[in-house]
């Protein structure tokens, strides 16, 4: 009897690695199929503004298969609460929408973006995979730049005139849905590039750390990768920066400048001396160009770049009117233009198409109401706190990756002050990739410390902390379930309080109301990360 049990134990110990290998292969195949399906769906969406229902059904079926194969539907992250909140508000936005033909493309974009977010989190579930993330991002940078270079409706003489350069570029992408002239707007292209320039700059800054990565045991494979890495990275940085300059988008250039300054400051606080120097230069420019008048200086700068500030002010005013009149539901995602012309007629743009509020935060509030703005602020705040906590752990190339992702997101948000990416905008998928990678890096930091230092930071060893932690044994105790439910209720109770408080002020003091929504969302994002940390710690101890 004892001998039989020993044989059984030996056989199980021998077969366990094979079972794990088979599980990993099945999981890898599912990940590959998921990314391929998302790529096909995104290509269809890019040129048709639609996503086939059969494609969405196939994606849902794939998730169910992954649940059956791996024992978990997905990896929990600190960003789950605001993401699920935004998804829950989509039916409300559609109910308020006056034109579903304008709203549905943005809804499809949000659904694909969220799917890509979780695909990234699930795919980068080990440190070895995360080490290849820079290659994936470099490839993404080149793909986005290539699409923009052959499909953008360029400004020939907005700031500088470069007709020969623009004439040399081929125009291969035409007939983009809802585009005024059939191509990609330069500001949309520039907004996508704001993510990428600081990221590539950060990877270049830490090039030496990349050379210390061990990719494989084969002696030649790492050498080949490292030999071509710097050239490819430097080429990508140059071509992406050149494309940014071609857009002549002042908001994009300002955002990148802020992102690069944040990157420099992150590495060396001595770059703080740039702030007083820039302030002194700005004061001198006001005296010379504006004759001592700030308003005159701004007016001259604006006229030199196309005189857009008066129009922006009028658009922002109409956006605030919409938020005051529809604070709970918003006007319906993507319907800014028809609603503005019907209810809040423009003076400067009486016969023009104005697709959005030209400010990211105002646009979210216009589309999804104040509750949606609170969730969006929580999403950004959760991203920032997750990136900060992860940056305290990683070193070398992965640290450079986190810093680049954070500075790229900052650059895009600065761009969003004067322009906007509506949630669901096609090139806005870059934002979801960035958020997915930061979430993956945050979740795997415990693996990194265990591998590097031999101790834990508090996350579960496999990174699958959160709602899926008990998925493998199929059992969830009542105490754990009630504990999780309590955390969820606290998050959404805070969201309801901040939303109602902001709405209470939005009618008489809209700026104050918007400020409360943003501050409340920022606090909510911190709470999401803090609760995730405490949940992970309690599950480790339990």
At 214 the pLDDT is 52
Tell me phi and psi for residue 101, to 5 degrees. Answer: -65, -25
Degrees, nearest 5: CA angle 37-229-34 = 10
Tokens encoding 183: 């191509």
Residue 115 has pLDDT above 60, yes or no: yes
Tokens encoding 342: 């019907």
Which domain range does residue 333 map to? 71-541
Full-model pTM: 0.86
CA–CA distance, 211 with 230 (Å, rounded to integer): 10
Q: Is 184 helix (H, G, I), strand (E, B) or coil?
A: strand
Q: How many CA atoms lie within 13 A of 521 on its CB side?
A: 30
Residue 14 domain-assigned (yes or no)? no
Residues recorded for the chain: 542
Residue entry with tokens 């199980």: 12
Q: Return all residues near 272 (Cβ < 8 A) that are at least 6 apart.
A: 265
Q: What pLDDT, in 10s, does the model give residues 364-407?
A: 999 999 999 999 999 999 999 999 999 998 988 889 999 999 99
Highest mean pLDDT among 70-84, 183-197, 364-378, 436-450: 364-378
Residue 60 domain-assigned (yes or no)? no
Could you give the C-alpha distances from 268 to 260, 386, 404, in angstroms and in order? Answer: 12, 21, 15
CA–CA distance, 183 with 77 (Å, rounded to integer): 36
Comparing CA positions, the residue from 106, 123, 189 lying closest to residue 425 is 106
Residue 453 has pLDDT above 80, yes or no: no
Per the DSSP assignment, residues forming a β-bridge with 184 are 152
Residue 301 domain-assigned (yes or no)? yes
Q: What pLDDT, in 10s, does the model give residues 477-499?
A: 455 556 667 777 888 999 999 99
Report the chain's mean pLDDT, rounded to a whole number: 81
Residue 162 domain-assigned (yes or no)? yes
Contact 398, 131 (CB under 8 A): yes
Highest mean pLDDT among 282-291, 375-384, 444-453: 375-384
Residue 53 domain-assigned (yes or no)? no
Residue 16 domain-assigned (yes or no)? no
Q: What pLDDT, in 10s, does the model give residues 148-177?
A: 998 888 877 666 777 777 888 888 777 777
Residue 20 domain-assigned (yes or no)? no
Domain count, the chain: 1
Helix intervals (H) in 422-477:
429-443, 445-452
Residue 409 domain-assigned (yes or no)? yes
Please count the other Cβ atoms lying within 10 Å of the Cβ belonging to residue 74. Answer: 19
CA–CA distance, 363 with 356 (Å, rounded to integer): 6
Q: What pLDDT, in 10s, does the model give residues 423-438?
A: 888 888 999 999 999 9
């Amino acid at each position: 009897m004892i001998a039989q049990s020993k044989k059984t134990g030996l056989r199980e110990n021998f077969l366990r690695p094979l079972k794990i290998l088979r599980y990993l292969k099945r999981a890898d195949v599912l990940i590959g199929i998921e990314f391929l399906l998302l790529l096909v769906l995104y290509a269809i969406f890019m040129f048709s503004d639609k996503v086939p229902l059969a494609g969405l059904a196939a994606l849902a079926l794939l998730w169910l298969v992954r649940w059956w194969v791996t024992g978990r539907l997905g990896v929990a992250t600190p960003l789950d609460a605001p993401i699920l909140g935004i998804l829950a508000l989509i039916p409300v936005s559609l109910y308020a929408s006056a034109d579903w033909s304008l709203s549905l493309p943005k809804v499809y974009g949000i659904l694909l973006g969220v799917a890509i977010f979780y695909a990234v989190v699930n795919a980068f579930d080990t440190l070895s995979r995360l080490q290849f993330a820079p290659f994936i991002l470099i490839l993404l940078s080149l793909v986005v730049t290539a699409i923009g270079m052959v499909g953008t409706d360029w400004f020939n003489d907005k700031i500088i005139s470069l007709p020969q350069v623009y004439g040399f570029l081929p125009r291969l992408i035409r007939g983009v849905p809802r585009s005024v002239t059939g191509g990609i707007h330069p500001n949309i292209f520039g907004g996508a590039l704001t993510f990428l320039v600081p990221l590539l700059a950060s990877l270049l800054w830490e090039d030496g750390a990349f050379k210390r990565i061990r990719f494989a045991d084969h002696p030649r494979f790492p050498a080949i990768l490292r030999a071509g890495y710097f050239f490819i990275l430097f080429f990508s940085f140059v071509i992406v920066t050149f494309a940014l300059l071609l857009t002549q988008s002042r908001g994009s250039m300002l955002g990148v400048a802020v992102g690069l300054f944040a990157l420099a400051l992150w590495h060396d606080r001595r770059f703080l001396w740039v702030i007083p120097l820039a302030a002194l230069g700005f004061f001198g420019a006001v005296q010379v160009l504006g004759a001592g008048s700030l308003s005159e200086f701004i007016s001259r700068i604006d006229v030199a770049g196309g005189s857009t500030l008066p129009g922006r002010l009028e658009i922002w005013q109409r956006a605030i009117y919409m938020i005051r009149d529809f604070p709970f539901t918003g006007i319906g995602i993507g319907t800014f233009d028809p609603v503005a012309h019907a209810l809040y007629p423009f003076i400067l743009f009486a016969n023009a198409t104005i697709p959005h509020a030209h400010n990211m935060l105002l646009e979210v509030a216009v589309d999804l109401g104040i509750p949606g703005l609170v969730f969006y602020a929580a999403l950004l705040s959760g991203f920032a706190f997750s990136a900060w906590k992860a940056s305290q752990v990683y070193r070398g190339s992965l640290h450079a990756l986190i810093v680049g992702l954070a500075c790229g997101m900052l650059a895009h948000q600065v761009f969003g002050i004067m322009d906007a990416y509506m949630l669901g905008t096609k090139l806005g998928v870059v934002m979801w990739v960035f958020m997915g990678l930061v979430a993956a890096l945050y979740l795997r930091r415990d693996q990194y410390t265990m591998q590097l230092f031999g101790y834990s930071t508090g996350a579960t060893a496999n990174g699958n902390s959160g709602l899926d932690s008990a998925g493998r044994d199929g059992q969830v105790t009542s105490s754990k379930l009630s504990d999780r439910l309590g955390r969820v209720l606290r998050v959404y109770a805070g969201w309801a309080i901040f939303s109602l408080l902001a709405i209470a002020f939005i009618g008489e003091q809209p700026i104050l109301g918007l400020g409360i929504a943003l501050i409340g969302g920022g606090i909510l994002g911190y709470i999401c990360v803090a609760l995730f940390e405490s949940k992970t710690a309690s599950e480790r101890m339990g």
